[in-house]
Amino acid sequence: MTVNFQYVDVDVSETLSAFTEEKLKSLFNKYEFLISATVYFKQDENKHDTGKICNIELSLPGPRIFATSTERNFEVAVRETINDLERQLKKRKEVFKTH
């Protein structure tokens, strides 16, 4: 499991990285065809109170899967983004089963 973190205009946080990696580990365990993940944390300058953005891009066979969410804090944004990815992965797994 390879996870790359990129903090864009946000201070690097080891706790946030560990939290995100823990959440992604469950996806990697559930879907063995995943190769790597790239996580971007950003701050929206226009919305200081709700502008915490988390983007996650997953590498796997076929097209990459991408999800993003904007929330009040990064932990909630990570959870929402991973829920979106989980939905997309379930659909992708169904496609793999039919072939």
Confidence of residue 99 (pLDDT cuts 50, 70, 90): low
Taking Cα atoms as reference points, which of 28, 32, 51, 41 lies closest to residue 78? 41
Q: Is the pLDDT of residue 95 over 70?
A: yes
Q: What is the DSSP letter of 76?
A: H
Q: What is the pLDDT of residue 1?
A: 78
Cα of 4 vs its chain's centroid, Å: 11
Residue of 97 and 34 predicted with greater confidence? 34
Per-residue pLDDT of 36-51, as tens digits, reads 999 999 998 877 677 8
Mean pLDDT score, 8-12: 90
Calculate mean pLDDT across residues 65-72: 94
Q: For residue 53, which phi and psi values (nearest 5 degrees)?
A: -110, 135
> Are 80 and 55 a contacting pair, CB within 8 Å?
no
- Phi-psi region for residue 9, left (φ > 0), alpha (ψ -120 to 50) or beta? left
Alpha-carbon dihedral angle through residues 17, 22, 26, 32, given to the nearest 10 degrees: 60
Per-residue confidence band for 97, with pLDDT thresholds at 50, 70 and 90: low
Cβ(35)–Cβ(24) below 8 Å: no
Tokens of 36: 């790597």
State pTM to two decimals: 0.89
